[in-house]
Amino acid sequence: MNWLKEKLRHKFGYALSGVLSGLRNDSSIALQCVLGLITIIVCLFLPLSALEWCVILIMVFLVIAMEFVNSAIEKTVDYISTQRHPAAKQIKDLAAGAVLLISICALCVGIIIIGGKLYWIIFGK
């Protein structure tokens, strides 16, 4: 059983190291984390249901996770070759496109949930 604890400790350590590295070294990841934190702070002052909280948290963390994946793909492509190549550009563009799509989805969800609550608070229904 000790080997399992040790293995899990190492895996979580590697994951935490990756998160901290991303926050320190990637401005896009840091920006998404700040925007996510702002979103969560705003939501603390809104009358959200448990389901709305779940959806907001899923979207916030999905955008951040997608940014981590995008950054990992970009760094992998850069590591494989320092030369510019159309395939490398397409790979990076596809990964960035995935972040864009999930960010648009998160924005729409935010407008529906947060915007709806703010509208109700400001205009009374």
Report which secondary-structure segment, H or E, holds 113: none
**Residues near 102 by beta carbon (within 8 Å), at least 6 away in sequence:** 62, 63, 66
Q: How close are the terminal C-alpha atoms of the chain, in Å? A: 57
Q: What is the pLDDT of residue 2?
A: 80
Handedness of CA 9, 12, 14, 19 (dihedral sign): negative
Active site positions, annotated? 67
Which residues contact residue 28 at a Cβ distance below 8 angstroms, ignoring those fewer than 6 apart?
A: 67, 70, 71, 99
Give me the pLDDT at residue 83, please: 87
pLDDT above 80: residue 1: no
**pLDDT tens-digit readout, 39-89:** 999 999 999 999 999 999 999 999 999 999 999 999 999 999 888 899 999
What pLDDT, on the 0 to 100 scale, is given for residue 125?
64
Looking at CATH, the fold of the domain delimited by 2-123 is given as Helix Hairpins (1.10.287)
Tens-place pLDDT, residues 88-108:
999 999 999 999 999 999 999
Is 52 assigned a ligand-binding role in the annotation?
no
pLDDT of 121 > 80? The answer is yes
Q: Is 89 annotated as a binding residue?
A: no
* CB-based burial label for 95 (10 Å; 0-12, 13-18, 19+): buried
Point out the least confidently predicted range of 4-18, 79-93, 108-122. Answer: 4-18
Q: Is 92 annotated as a binding residue?
A: yes
**Residue 13 CB contacts under 8 Å (≥ 6 apart), including other chains:** none
